[in-house]
Amino acid sequence: MKTASPGTKAKICEAAISLFTSQGFRGTTIRQIAQKADVNIALISYHFGGKKGLLEELVMSFYEGYVRRLEVVYHTSTKETARGALMELTEKLLSYQKNNLELARFVHREMTLDSTLIRELMSTYLAKEKYYLNAFFEKGIKRREFKRQSVDLLSVQYKEMIVLPFLQPLYLTEVFHLPVGENVFYRDYQKWINSWIERFVCVPEKKPSILSNVLFGSVQEKWGG
């Protein structure tokens, strides 16, 4: 019998993501995962307690990393402005998902289903996501950088844009002819979200006079302050 090595869990996860993505969760057996990962089937039960446990672990590990990025940018961004911090967040969330592409696609799709597990994960991770997104927008509104409006609406729209290339990649390739998955795509897509931030979220910039820059330019609090 093959024994657990530090890489075993990772190998099992990788095999599971790939099979769940191509065959669906229901269409995949524990045996197929063991075969693809080249591990003994008993190790999957040992590490994850079965197929459902494996799914839970995958979704949780995705959202742990996702929510951590929200927390980190919110609490430690060194950007001067709310606008800058939100753009930094966009870059972080897109590149996190890009670096975990198959997992991101699988998790977002899985979250469109209805089950007790999904409901639990929703009320844990997506509630945290909403909490931080609302906090970003509220802070920007308080600083008078963002227009006063429903933060729930802003959070939903922002979240949908962040998730779109992973939940509905074909929609962007077939209908908008965007090269989803290529590096150039992420750069352009980020610009797209930034243009949304500039136009929909921010108070239109008044060209500041040199005098007001001198007088008020340096008193503005930093984001992280």
Written as one string, the DSSP assignment of 64-106 is HHHHHHHHHHHHH---SSHHHHHHHHHHHHHHHHHHTHHHHHH
Binding segment (CB under 8 A) for a second copy, from list 34-42, 65-73, 126-134, 209-217: 126-134
Please tell me whether residue 220 binds a second copy under the rule CB under 8 A: no
Nearest residue to 180 (alpha-carbon basis) of 163, 197, 195: 163
Q: How far is CA 133 from CA 24, 45, 77, 154, in A?
A: 31, 37, 14, 8
**Shorter beta-carbon distance to a second copy: residue 175 or 184:** 175
Binding segment (CB under 8 A) for a second copy, from list 46-54, 62-70, 73-81, 107-115: 107-115
- Which positions ≥6 away from 211 have C-beta within 8 Å? none
Out of 71, 152, 182, 188, point to the residue binding a second copy (CB under 8 A): 152
Residue showing tokens 């966009």: 90
- In the region spanning residues 19 to 48, those forming contacts with a second copy, defined by CB under 8 A, are 23-24, 26-27
Footprint on this chain of a second copy (rule: CB under 8 A): 23-24, 26-27, 108-109, 111-114, 118-119, 122-123, 126-127, 129-130, 147, 149-150, 152-153, 156-157, 160-161, 164, 167-171, 174-176, 192, 195-196, 199-200
